[in-house]
A and B are shown apart, each in its own frame.
Chain A
């Protein structure tokens, strides 16, 4: 398997087939003597912008402090939760509980639900 081609930037799907973003980054654990391994998948936060330019990452952090959901920084998902790697990456988690949908829910609650006809974000 090739990490950049098959994993990085792939779409993540949770147990309930809900889209939870794309792989923004990957954390590799390097030990003294042991073989390096991938420990976490990162979603969102400034990880993405860091890949373009550190300055953009700083701007994105600054903006997130002024505005938006409480959950800051990237969501870390342990590699052990990966179920399969194919067209998309299937995870053994529930998107809501990871914080990956923090923005989605925040925008739904603060903006979309307040506009008539927007519907309710949560299923009763």
Chain B
């Protein structure tokens, strides 16, 4: 099945129980000789920072606020994402089992 990345960008994602997780904001891909495989999806408002390449700007603010959980990004491995309905992507796992990065 073909899915348009540019339209998937910004769609809301629910977890397996129907709980709101956030929006898809970025895609981790692995590129080799001829292919480009999607490893993981980054979800959550703060993933926008990733996409804007704005970490140098945000990091000092984060440091200033001494908070670890301030900017959370969920990284969802491709196996855990169900894209059978591209307009309503669902996780195959629960929100609490998700991995935070940064």
Contacts and interface: CB of A to CB of B under 8 A. Distances in A.
Interface of A: 1-5, 7-8, 24-31, 35-39, 42, 47, 50-51, 79-80, 82, 85
Given A37-B37, A79-B35, A28 B50 contact: no
Given A4-B9, A30-B83, A35 B38 contact: yes
A26 B37 contact: no
B26 interface: yes
B1 interface: yes
Interface string B54-66: 0000000000000
Interface of B: 1-9, 25-31, 34-39, 50-53, 78, 83
Given A4-B5, A27-B5, 8 more contacts: A1-B31, A26-B4, A37-B35, A39-B2, A51-B6, A79-B36, A82-B36, A85-B31
A8 B37 contact: no
A57 to B, nearest CB: 10
Contacts of B1: 29-31
Given A4-B26, A37-B37, A25 B4 contact: yes
Nearest to A28: B3
B78 A28 contact: no
A22 to B, nearest CB: 12
A35 B51 contact: no
Contact of B29 (A1, A24, A42, A51): A1
Contacts of A2: 26-29, 50-51
Nearest to B35: A37
B38 A26 contact: no
A79 B34 CA distance: 7
A29 B3 CA distance: 6
Nearest to B9: A4
Contacts of B50: 2, 5
B35 A26 contact: no
B32 to A, nearest CB: 11
29 contacts: A1-B29, A1-B31, A4-B5, A4-B51, A5-B50, A5-B51, A5-B52, A8-B9, A24-B6, A25-B5, A26-B4, A28-B5, A28-B8, A29-B1, A30-B83, A35-B37, A35-B38, A35-B78, A36-B38, A37-B38, A38-B38, A39-B2, A42-B6, A47-B4, A47-B6, A50-B6, A79-B34, A79-B35, A79-B36
